Amino acid sequence: MNKAIGFIGLGVMGSPMAGHLSNHHEIRVFNRSLEKTKSWIKKYSGSECSSVKEISKVSDILFLCVGNDNDVREIISNKDGALEHLKSGSCIVDHTTTSADLANEMNNLLSTKNINYLDAPISGGQAGAESGQLSIMVGGKNELYEELKDILMTYSKFIKYMGKSGSGQLTKMVNQICIAGLVQALSEGINFSEEVGLNSKDVLEVVSKGAAQSWQMDNRWETMLQDSYDHGFAVDLMRKDLEIVINEASKSNINIDITKLINEFYKDIQSEGGGRWDTSSLLKRLQKFA
């Protein structure tokens, strides 16, 4: 039997993800800013809903891809929220990057109404969402993951079940720790190359074919050399994610010294008005302070 699918959150990531779903399933969408909904409807095939209440009432599977913990909590538990209007036996798949505590809180809350919940944060950036090549890390009930895996493959290249509720979000924290360090190292490498007078294009072409190769290098070095920082995941969002990581690490006194330092670097970029620049703008910070 076909499941009725709803999707809330038509931003940079959510819009193309919902678009990929619409190519294979009949879906309904909702976004708090109406202009994004109208824009999505013009581009893809689906129906618009005017409220969380409306889309919850008609969805067996409700996907979320919104901003932060508070957004998710509001959508689910506010008056006329999803908790109140989803059917017993339905489920929420939350692609928002949140704290693991939020995932556990929502899972426990929804279970009181026999509604299932998967925390399923994503990695791959805007380009991955648009091409349908995201990686998804999933926490929650394994049997529900197995049931929904084929639907999730609509916009992903790799999906892995990580464990109980909250495990997807903890995995995403590892992802963000690794990205922060990689982008800072790439920025320092490019800045060094420029300062010593090398042809940085030639340098990056060489080192990207060896042990220094990474996704960040392959996808960002050219735009970084062009001083172009409008290519995906924004500094404001990275700051939000790194604060989640730092808070989680503090609970168990886990050493994340480099991550904390790079979080401060991103604060510098925000103070210069670069909150909407992409995360590779760490190079711009180095060049400015040089």
Distance CA 116, CA 90 (A): 6
What are φ and ψ of residue 130, in 5° steps?
A: -70, -35
Dist CA 193 CA 34 (whole Å): 46
CA gap 15, 71 in Å, rounded? 17
Cα–Cα distance for residue pair 189/207, rounded to 1 Å: 10
Pairing type for strands 134-139 and 122-123 reads antiparallel
Which residues are within 8 A (CB) of 181 and not within 5 positions of it... i.e. 6 or more apart?
Answer: 258, 259, 262
- Cα separation, 59 vs 151, in Å, equals 14
Active site residue 172: yes
Q: Which of 149, 172, 251, 288 is catalytic?
A: 172
Query: Does an H or E element contain 220, and which?
Result: helix 215-225
Judging by beta carbons within 10 Å of its beta carbon (0-12, 13-18, 19+), is residue 211 exposed, middle or buried? exposed
DSSP state of 51: S
Cβ-based neighbour number of residue 218 at 10 Å: 11
Residue 147: Cβ-neighbour burial (10 angstroms; 0-12, 13-18, 19+): middle
Any idea which residues carry the catalytic annotation?
172
